[in-house]
Amino acid sequence: MVFSSSPLFILDDGFQHWKLYRDRDIVLIDSIRGFGNGHLLPRGILREPASSLKRATHILISGDDGKEIVDKIALSNINSIRSFRYVPTGIVNLTNNTKFPIDCLKNKKVLAFSGIANPVSFFITLKNTGAIIKNTFVFKDHHRYTIKNLDNIKRDSCGTAYIITTEKDSVKIKDILPSDMDVYAMTIDIVIDNEQEFLTQIC
């Protein structure tokens, strides 16, 4: 849907749509998975060859351990390459919207579940809060949750202080969440290195 009065359009997964006019091509790369085995789907994780990154105007790499990836990308002569990281800010109860500071997870046993493309990144971010992850459930990306899924999660959460999921997953379970089951979404901020410079470049 197009609104003529909108000054800005941000399209997710638009890099591969060559016919679409764009002013900026911002590519996000997960430093944990990198380029995988270097092959395209279904043999690998890439939608396009890594050489296609030469079309990008900006590249953001998650985490602080992306040096090897940066070295590879440098061959593509990309001018703007920088890191970003996920910073957890708190948790919110999905039943009553009560918010708690992220420090409440420190040294607490939790069950974590997600249905996102890279659950490992979520679990690492959660672990870095000081939470003790006792059990995990991993569902496929874009998973449609069922009551049975939640029943299984609740059953296996015995002995934990919190059941934690992502904000993306929280939207999918709110309407079917049992009233006697407390699930919390971990809220995060994105921190980009030299953020103001980056914003100046893309605006």
Per domain, the residue ranges of the chain are 26-78, 86-190
From 192, 188, 201, select the one nearest 82 (Cα to Cα): 192
How does pLDDT run along the chain (203 residues), one tens digit per residue? 555 566 788 898 899 898 989 999 999 998 888 888 989 999 999 999 988 988 899 999 987 666 677 676 666 666 688 899 999 999 999 999 999 999 999 999 999 999 998 999 999 999 999 999 999 999 999 999 999 999 999 999 999 999 999 999 999 999 999 999 999 999 999 999 999 999 998 88
Long-range contacts of 19-22 (CB under 8 A, 24+ apart): none
Tell me what pLDDT residue 32 has. 84
Rounded Cα distance between 137 and 118, Å, is 13
Rounded Cα distance between 185 and 92, Å, is 5
Q: What amino acid is encoded at 135 in this protein? A: N
Rounded Cα distance between 15 and 55, Å, is 9
Phi-psi group of 13: left, alpha or beta (phi > 0 → left; psi -120 to 50 → alpha; rest → beta): left
Tell me what pLDDT residue 80 has. 83
As assigned by CATH, the class of the 86-190 domain is alpha beta
